[in-house]
């Protein structure tokens, strides 16, 4: 695995653009010479600490985001289903418990991290169901193939200082790299970290690390 580039994806399951970036990078992890590392972090924490605001809070931008997400979902072949009243639902939902749960699974059974994260996005962005309550979180875990006892253990861990601290540390690390939103993609190349913001900068990422971008769905 000599000469592989470490690419870290800092994401939160409340972020639809993170889902697009996640799926595209999953498709490229065997095409590009990269080691892809998922870094579950907390978007609200990043927004708060950097003074950023969700784009949909500006009415004109919200209009654009709606169209943009529909086009991107089709282009990336990821089932993000979004409508005008989704913004209220998003603002009313906290992803803190979900991201702590994802963090707990990352710490104990990282082999489930990819399917679990995907299932959270599916539930929230495709099925428009809640992801903030314990029973919803367990339903997501079940759908992602986690054994019941592992899910139960991870759920109990979300209130532990270990998990809370890990999520805070990962979020702080994203900010240290310059993140102000999500997805934040950090490529460690030529001895330094390079930050790329958004799911539409993967072509640029490829260019920096010497890899060819073949579109969001490389065949």
pLDDT in tens, 35-93: 999 999 999 999 999 999 888 888 899 999 999 999 999 999 999 999 888 888 888 99
pLDDT tens string 133-190? 999 999 999 999 999 999 999 999 999 999 999 999 999 999 999 999 999 999 999 9
Residue 159 among the catalytic residues: no
Catalytic residue among 15, 95, 151, 199: 15
Neighbours of 12 (CB within 10 A): 27
Number of domains in the chain: 1
| Residue 17 pLDDT greater than 60, yes or no | yes
H-helix or E-strand spanning residue 168: helix 161-176
Please check whether residue 200 lies inside any domain of the structure. Answer: yes
Residue 51 located in a structural domain? yes
In a domain, 215, yes or no: no
pLDDT digits (tens, 9 = 90+) for 88-107: 888 899 999 999 999 999 99
- Cα distances from 94 to residues 15, 88, 89, in angstroms, run 11, 12, 10
Which residue is associated with the tokens 């089709």? Answer: 74
What's the CA gap between 54 and 56, in Å, rounded? 5
Is residue 167 domain-resident?
A: yes
The confidence score (pLDDT) of residue 97 equals 98
Residue 154 located in a structural domain:
yes
Which CATH number covers residue 20?
3.40.30.10
* The pLDDT of residue 219: 80
Domain span at residue 58?
Answer: 5-206
Edge to edge, what strands does the sheet with 192-197 contain?
A: 34-40, 5-11, 184-189, 192-197
In a domain, 81, yes or no: yes
């Amino acid at each position: 695995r000599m000469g592989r580039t470490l690419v870290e994806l800092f994401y939160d399951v409340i972020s639809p653009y993170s889902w697009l970036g996640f799926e595209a990078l999953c498709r490229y992890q065997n095409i590009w010479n990269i080691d892809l590392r998922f870094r579950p972090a907390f978007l609200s924490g990043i927004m708060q600490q950097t003074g950023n605001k969700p784009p949909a809070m500006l009415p004109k931008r919200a209009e654009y985001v709606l169209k943009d997400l529909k086009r991107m979902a089709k282009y990336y072949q990821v089932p993000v289903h979004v409508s005008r009243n989704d913004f209220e639902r998003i603002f009313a939902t906290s992803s803190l418990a979900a991201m702590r749960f994802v963090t707990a699974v990352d710490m104990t059974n990282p082999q489930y991290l990819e399917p679990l994260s995907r299932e959270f996005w599916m539930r929230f962005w495709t099925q428009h169901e809640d992801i903030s309550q314990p029973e919803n979180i367990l339903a997501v875990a079940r759908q992602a193939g986690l054994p019941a006892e592992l899910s139960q253990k991870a759920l109990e861990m979300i209130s532990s200082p270990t998990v809370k601290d890990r999520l805070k540390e990962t979020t702080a690390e994203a900010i240290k790299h310059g993140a102000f939103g999500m997805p934040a993609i950090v490529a460690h190349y030529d001895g330094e970290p390079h930050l790329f913001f958004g799911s539409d900068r993967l072509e640029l990422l490829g260019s920096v690390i010497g890899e060819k971008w073949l579109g969001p769905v490389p065949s």
